A = this chain, B = another copy of it.
Amino acid sequence: MFEKSALETLIAFDKKIKQLDEINALLGWDREVYMPEKGSEQRAEQSALIASYHHSLLISDTMKKLLESVCNENLSDTEKGYVAFMKKKYETAVCLPQKWVEEESKTLSMAQDVWVEAKKKNDFKLFQPWLEKIVKLQQERGEFIAPCLPNAKNTYDVLLDQYEPSVSSELLISLFSEVEPALRKIVQIRKEKQLEMPPWVTALYPIEGQRAFAGHLLKYMEFDTLSGRLDETMHPFTTTLGGQDVRITTHYYENLLQSGIFSIIHEAGHGLYEQNIDSWIRLTSAGSGVSMGIHESQSRMWENIFGRGKSFWTYLFPLLKQEFPSQLHSVNLDSWVDSINYITPSLIRTEADEVTYSLHIMLRFKIEQALITNQITVSQVPEMWNSLMEEMLGIIPSTDSEGCLQDVHWAAGLFGYFPSYALGNFYGAQFISAMKKDGVNIDKCLENAELTPVHSWLKKNIWQYGSTVLPTDLLLKSTGSTLSSKPFINYLEEKYCK
């Protein structure tokens, strides 16, 4: 019984760490959603205070001793997974010198302000010295953490592991080299086949009606509004404020009906994952999605594979028409489904369709990997960006603001994060393929708004575990396969090339 009690003690201690995470999530959520303008300076200090309490608990002697005294032998697989997760979290945290953490935090905070300015002024040179500092800091981060990851072959792989454990750049290069030509081919085919976008797509759709439809959408997806809520922010996001408090946001545009709808479906996909983690895990630090890629698989699966399919809208389109009878009176289901599957190369990643989206990611992967491994310098980024845009998407941005300055990620130090978005697409298609093999009639479920079989499969195979498994093990267990881009390519070819 001693071992069990050590685990219980660890969990009780870790609950406080998780609560501090959640408190900081509330501080961040409120900042984006409701905080008055002048509250920001004080809010930053409040967040820093909570972060310092969080860090102190995580790297404490208590934590060290608890991890030592938890003996793996008598634990269930999930409990073992939890302990492994906590060990890695602890070891990574103690690897980073406090002084370096403060330096990084200060630099990133200032760099993001400079990035906003540089993007506004279309002035890459302004941002360049900051990006140089950040690249150096991230290289250092990789070197600090490296001893915890004996299998990582280079610094970029160490950074990658923070977001997608057990995936290497070697594997990414191999996957991407299969996907890239396939996507480019589909883009070409669509270019020839596709009709013009009809004018009702960009008609005016009053926000009140969009809000009302959002209610139908969340109910349909079975997002639990007693354990979560939907608010409005400039940039949509999902955040977990408690074991039963998962919040998503969207942004409604009067002249872009689809933007609000698909960001809700995307964020609710993230939200469903967080709401359905097993209850004891949800209260611990492992109570979140297992990796950025698996998390993104859930949001992108709901957004694209389900959300851009005809079955999804068989049920929902009549409800959408009810909200907008005049704008949509002459539109039938097929025209609507066509309009949400328009494929065309564009400059901005966040506005890209489900085919070109992964091309944007591969481009960023090529550049950030080259930067971290010193194959290029920061000054070469704009040129490399533009030439890759031309090569991969056939278009060149006329400004860096629409090019290499468009995303906040690098200014926020998130090197190794971008690939998660593409991996999310690959994982998602693998899960759907396995779900079908397991006998779930997805189309029927979606058409009849009876999502229990879909939810049950996702909960059993993905959601319940939180971070107590490795993404590779989760994938193998639920699909019988290792990471592959083939189901994703098959899905797109089936959908767009028939």
Q: Which residues of the other chain, B, contact A225 by a CB distance below 8 angstroms?
A: 36
The answer, among B16, B36, B49, B229, for a CB contact under 8 Å with A16, is: B49
Q: Which residues of the other chain, B, contact A42 by a CB distance below 8 angstroms?
A: 19, 22, 242-245, 283
Q: Which residues of the other chain, B, contact A22 by a CB distance below 8 angstroms?
A: 42, 46
Q: How many copies does the complex hold?
A: 2
Q: Which A239-257 residues have C-beta < 8 A from chain B?
A: 241-245, 247
Q: Which residues of the other chain, B, contact A227 by a CB distance below 8 angstroms?
A: 36-39
Q: Which residues of the other chain, B, contact A39 by a CB distance below 8 angstroms?
A: 227, 241-242, 244-245
Q: Is the CB of B37 within 8 A of A26?
A: no
Stretch at the interface among A27-35, A104-112, A401-409: A27-35
Q: Is the CB of B36 within 8 A of A245?
A: yes
Question: Nearest chain-B residue to A49 (Cβ)?
Answer: B19
Q: Is the CB of B38 within 8 A of A245?
A: yes
A227 to B36, CA, bound (A): 6
Q: Which A1-57 residues have C-beta < 8 A from chain B?
A: 15-16, 19-20, 22-23, 26-27, 30, 34-39, 41-43, 45-46, 49-50, 53
Q: How many residues of A contact B (CB 8 A)?
A: 37
Interface of A is mostly: helix
Contact A244 to B36, CB < 8 A, known contacts A16-B49, A49-B16: yes
Q: Which residues of the other chain, B, contact A244 by a CB distance below 8 angstroms?
A: 36, 38-39, 41-42
Say whether A226 faces chain B, with CB atoms less than 8 Å apart: yes
Say whether A466 faces chain B, with CB atoms less than 8 Å apart: no
Q: Is the CB of B27 within 8 A of A30?
A: no
How distant is A166 from chain B, measured CB to nearest CB, in Å? 31
Say whether A345 faces chain B, with CB atoms less than 8 Å apart: no
Q: Which residues of the other chain, B, contact A46 by a CB distance below 8 angstroms?
A: 19, 22-23, 26, 242
Say whether A228 faces chain B, with CB atoms less than 8 Å apart: yes
How distant is A251 from chain B, measured CB to nearest CB, in Å? 18
Q: Which residues of the other chain, B, contact A16 by a CB distance below 8 angstroms?
A: 49
A281 to B121, CA, bound (A): 39
Q: Is the CB of B226 within 8 A of A36?
A: yes
A488 to B243, CA, bound (A): 51
A13 to B95, CA, bound (A): 28
Q: Which residues of the other chain, B, contact A36 by a CB distance below 8 angstroms?
A: 225-229, 244-245, 247
A226 to B36, CA, bound (A): 5
Q: Is the CB of B35 within 8 A of A245?
A: yes
How distant is A130 from chain B, measured CB to nearest CB, in Å? 28
What are 28 A-B pairs at a CB distance below 8 A? A16-B49, A19-B42, A19-B46, A20-B49, A22-B42, A23-B23, A23-B46, A23-B49, A23-B50, A26-B27, A26-B46, A30-B241, A34-B229, A35-B245, A36-B228, A36-B229, A36-B245, A36-B247, A37-B226, A37-B227, A38-B224, A38-B226, A38-B227, A39-B245, A41-B243, A42-B244, A42-B245, A43-B245
- The 10 A-B pairs of least Cβ separation, nearest first, read A39-B245, A42-B242, A38-B244, A38-B227, A37-B226, A39-B242, A42-B243, A38-B226, A19-B46, A19-B49
Besides A23-B27, A36-B225, A42-B245, 11 new A-B residue pairs in contact (Cβ under 8 A), listed by A number: A19-B42, A19-B49, A30-B30, A34-B34, A34-B229, A34-B231, A38-B224, A38-B244, A39-B245, A42-B243, A43-B245
